[in-house]
Amino acid sequence: MKPSQITLFFHLTILFLLLCTFANAWIPPNYFSKLNLLSLCFPYLILLHFLLTFIWIVKRKKIAILFVVSTFIFYNPIRRWINFSPQIKKEAKPKRDIKVLTFNVKYGTVGGWDTVKKYIRSQNADIILVQEKDTSTVLKENLVKYPTVILKTKHKILRQEELITETSRGNSFYADVDINGKIVRIINVYLEPFRLHKSMIEFDGMEKESNKLGMIFSRLIPTFKAHEHQIKKIRRAVDASPYPVILAGDFNSVPNSYEYYNLGKNLDDAFIKVGHGASTSFHEYKFPLRLDYIFTSSSITPLSYKVDYSVKLSDHYPVIAEFLLN
């Protein structure tokens, strides 16, 4: 085969793999779990696609037209990682009704819990969602707590229910909150973590890499399957809600994954609506990962969305958004 034919075959393979990421919306991990791995590779696959497309353009090959046009298919999937939509000008924004903060605090082991609390208080948010917090000693009236997850609010909590009750390192619950006469169902999401650590990702030579890959897959695949069962329970709370929904937290999954598609079904991703720039919210590893999200019902209008990169009190960055309740 000629070099150009090999390159074309390679590029078509990349395009096929990118298209396969759309299938995560319908194919559950317990049926074909390896498909969900492609969502982790999406940033690198799309970069390779851009690079090869540029090469075809430079070489003035007609096939470049096909690859340029195919790029538009991935417009929304790309925006889930990097949003290049124009931001709303501050002077044009209406006054917000609520401010939401979601933050995986990693049990306060990075910055110390007192420093984390000081930061959270400084944000003056109406709804505070925390993941990976030791809740055994937390007792307050304006606070909903279950193992590892917390909701704190300035407003009245009408009812609450734990959604994931089986033995798990993940957890989720909902609380119906009266916000100035408007009831909103707040769902704090913390899906099963992968139990990976930094040393698994670092390169230690070719001999050890195959063993590492096997170990990583042994953590990823069962976790994908656990997520499927957890998502079903969370979706029941969303679909049965008589009120608008704010669903936020640490999904332990990236955009274009089965988790993203199915948790976000019929909801709006606040980052896509009003976010700008990169959405990376997890910084433990060198490659970019977006794991933290805020989704809302269509009747809740997002006004702003920010990943606070100035704060390194955890392996996650805090995610903050403001909303108007219609």
Chain segment 99-108, per-residue pLDDT in tens: 999 999 998 8
Contact 245, 185 (CB under 8 A): yes
Helix, strand, coil shares, percent, the chain, to 5? 40, 25, 35
Q: CB under 8 Å to 276, separation ≥6 — which residues?
A: 83, 84, 85, 86, 87, 305
Q: What letter does residue 33 receive in the DSSP assignment?
A: G
Name the residue among 200, 137, 177, 172 with its Cα closest to residue 263.
Answer: 172
Strand 156-162 vs strand 300-307: parallel, antiparallel, or unpaired?
unpaired
Contact 163, 174 (CB under 8 A): yes
Residue 187 phi/psi, 5-degree rounding, is -120, 120
Residues 112-135 have a mean pLDDT of 91
The topology under which CATH files domain 90-325 is Deoxyribonuclease I; Chain A (3.60.10)
Is the confidence at residue 153, as pLDDT, over 60?
A: yes
Contact 172, 144 (CB under 8 A): no
Q: What percent of the chain lies above the pLDDT cut of 70?
A: 87
What pTM was estimated for this model as a whole? 0.90
Task: Look at residue 94 and give its three-state secondary structure.
Answer: coil
The distance from CA 71 to its chain's CA centroid, rounded to whole angstroms, is 23
pLDDT at 96: 72
pLDDT at 136: 67
Segments of the chain assigned E as strands: 82-83, 98-104, 127-133, 143-146, 148-153, 156-162, 171-179, 182-190, 245-250, 268-269, 277-278, 292-296, 300-307, 319-325
Ramachandran region, residue 171 (left: φ > 0; alpha: ψ -120 to 50; beta: rest):
beta
pLDDT at 217: 65
Task: Look at residue 288 and give its three-state secondary structure.
Answer: coil
Q: What is the pLDDT of residues 25-68, one digit of tens each?
A: 999 998 998 899 899 999 999 999 999 999 999 988 888 899 99
Domain ranges across the chain? 3-79, 90-325
Name the residue among 269, 303, 300 with its Cα closest to residue 179.
Answer: 300
pLDDT at 250: 96
Q: What is the pLDDT of residues 231-265, one digit of tens each?
A: 999 999 999 999 999 999 999 999 999 999 999 99
Name the residue among 260, 325, 245 with its Cα closest to residue 292.
Answer: 260
pLDDT at 157: 93
Q: Which residue has the tokens 């909150």?
A: 177
Rounded distance between C-alpha atoms, residue 191 and residue 49, angstroms: 31
pLDDT at 86: 63
Q: What letter does residue 2 receive in the DSSP assignment?
A: -
Rounded distance between C-alpha atoms, residue 253 and residue 258, angstroms: 8
Rounded distance between C-alpha atoms, residue 127 and residue 124, angstroms: 9
